[in-house]
């Protein structure tokens, strides 16, 4: 039977439930996370291989990192890195000394080397971060059409949406200033910026819920 979070910690809210690390449930949780990690990594490899093949490009180096993930450090603690990129040594068995920090779809992706800053618990940001929630950002656009907003924000970038529907909450204005984010990374010593990838194009998820069956049913009822 699963451990009862209410029994272990009655005052803890359900959304903040936790598992003792020395239990079978915690081991299963960690194993499941490693499966997700391996699946994600394999997908990255496939995308990279296909891109290199189509471009007839030779792969000179390859590295990747997850963010918004759970990491286990030598101190035995689990770190839930929400909005964070690992910046400490040996954060994974296949880790290199380099990680990626994308800022927004119109700005360079930063190639960084972590500094294991104690005041950042050994992490750096995973991106620029949002100015507003998705819903609030959409509300602030007023009466401007999606087409107008899209054309204004992605000039010079081949921006596409996998779902086929533009999601304006994924456009640059939904995020904090990229230059400010970069300066803060350097100012607070969270990571060393060693290079950058200049964007030519981006594929974002898009508004995948726009044509979701549950939404169509709700619209039909109204």
Higher pLDDT, 202 or 215: 202
Whole-angstrom Cα distance, residue 195 to residue 180?
17
Residue 44 region by backbone torsions, left for phi larger than 0, else alpha for psi between -120 and 50, else beta: alpha
| Residue 2 scores a pLDDT above 70 | no
CA 3 – CA 92 distance, rounded (Å): 28
Whether residue 77 is predicted with pLDDT greater than 60 in this model: the reply is yes
The ranges assigned to domains in the chain are 18-57, 63-221
Average pLDDT of the residues in 166-190: 90
Judged against a pLDDT cut of 80, whether residue 6 lies above it is answered with: no
Per-residue pLDDT averaged across 16-40, rounded? 89
Which residues are registered as beta bridge partners of 113? 192
- For the chain, the farthest-separated pair of C-alpha atoms sits apart, in whole angstroms, at 59
- Considering 111-115, 124-128, 202-206, 207-211, the range whose residues carry the highest mean pLDDT is 111-115
Question: 15 pLDDT exceeds 80?
Answer: no
pLDDT interval class at 4 (50, 70, 90) = low
Q: What is the pTM of this model?
A: 0.82
């Amino acid at each position: 039977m699963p451990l009862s979070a209410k029994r272990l910690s009655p005052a803890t809210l359900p959304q903040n439930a936790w598992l003792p690390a020395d239990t079978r449930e915690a081991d299963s949780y960690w194993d499941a996370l490693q499966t997700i990690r391996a699946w994600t990594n394999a997908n990255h490899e496939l995308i990279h291989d296909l891109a290199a093949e189509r471009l007839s490009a030779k792969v000179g180096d390859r590295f990747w990192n997850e963010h918004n993930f759970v990491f286990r450090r030598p101190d035995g603690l689990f770190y839930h890195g929400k909005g964070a990129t690992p910046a400490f040594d040996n954060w994974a068995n296949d880790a290199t000394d380099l990680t990626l920090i994308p800022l927004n779809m119109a700005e360079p992706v930063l190639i960084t080397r972590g500094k294991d800053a104690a005041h950042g618990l050994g992490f750096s940001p995973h991106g620029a971060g949002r100015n507003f929630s998705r819903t609030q950002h959409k509300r602030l656009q007023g009466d401007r059409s999606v087409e107008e907003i899209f054309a204004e924000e992605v000039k010079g970038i081949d921006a596409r949406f996998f779902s086929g529907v533009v999601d304006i909450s994924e456009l640059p204005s939904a995020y904090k200033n990229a230059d400010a984010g970069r300066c803060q990374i350097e100012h607070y010593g969270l990571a060393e910026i060693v290079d950058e990838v200049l964007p030519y194009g981006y594929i974002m998820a898009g508004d995948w819920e726009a044509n979701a069956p549950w939404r169509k049913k709700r619209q039909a009822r109204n």
